[in-house]
Amino acid sequence: MRGLTLLLAGIASLLFAGCDEINEDYYGLYFSAEIVDEEGVPIQGIYAYPEGDKFDGREGYSNHLGKIEAFAHIKPSRRFVIYITDVDGEYNRGEYEGVTIDITSMVAPPTVPDKYGFSGSGIVDLGRVVLKRK
C-alpha cells in the first residue's frame, strides 16, 4: 500500500511540475459588435471568431438584437483578424455573405508573457457591422 501511495504521489508531482512547461502564451481579446442587414434589421445567429482560435466563455454568436459579446484566448500575433460568418443558412431570414475584419490597429500589441503565460489583452468594439444577403 505504501508503494502505491508513493507511486501516485510521484505521478502527481510530475504532472504538477510539467504544468509550467505546457502553459502556452495567450492574448485576451474581448470583442463586441452589432450585426445588421442592409436595412438595419438585427441578424441573429451570426458567428464571429478570431483568426487562429475560437471564442471561449461567452459565445461569439449574435443574439436576437444582433449583439455579439465574446472573449477569446488566442496566440499573440502581429496581425489580429475577426471572421464574421452566417452559420445557420436560411434560419435568420436569408443567407448572408461573411466578412473578414482586420483589427490589428485596434488592438494593443502583445507584451512579454508574464509567469502565467498572459501577454496582454485587447478590447475591440466594431460597432455596427452590415452584412449583405447572398
pLDDT confidence of residue 54: 55
pLDDT confidence of residue 40: 96
pLDDT confidence of residue 114: 74
Q: Is residue 7 part of a domain?
A: no
Quick: pLDDT tens for 46-98.
998 887 665 555 568 899 999 998 887 777 777 888 899 998 777 777 899 99
Strand 118-130 versus strand 26-36 pairing type: parallel
pLDDT confidence of residue 63: 92
Q: Is residue 74 part of a domain?
A: yes
Look at the chain and report how many structural domains it folds into.
1
**Element (DSSP H or E) covering residue 24:** none
Q: What is the pTM of this model?
A: 0.71
pLDDT confidence of residue 19: 39
| Host domain of residue 75 | 24-130
Whichever domain contains 103, its CATH number is 2.60.40.10
Q: Is residue 14 part of a domain?
A: no
Q: Which cell numbers in the block locate residue 66? A: 444582433
pLDDT confidence of residue 132: 94
Q: Which cell numbers in the block locate residue 8? A: 501516485
Phi and psi at residue 16, in whole multiples of 5°? Answer: -70, -35
Per the DSSP assignment, residues forming a β-bridge with 68 are 33
Q: Is residue 28 part of a domain?
A: yes
Q: Is residue 15 part of a domain?
A: no
Q: Is residue 9 part of a domain?
A: no
pLDDT confidence of residue 37: 94
| Highest mean pLDDT: which range of 8-12, 25-29, 34-38, 110-114 | 34-38
Residue 28 clears pLDDT 50, i.e. is over it = yes
Q: Is residue 67 part of a domain?
A: yes
DSSP letter string over 49-93?
EETTS--BSS-SB--TTSEEEEEEEE---S--EEEEEE-SGGGGS
Distance from C-alpha of 38 to C-alpha of 72, rounded to nearest angstrom: 28
Distance from C-alpha of 89 to C-alpha of 45, rounded to nearest angstrom: 9
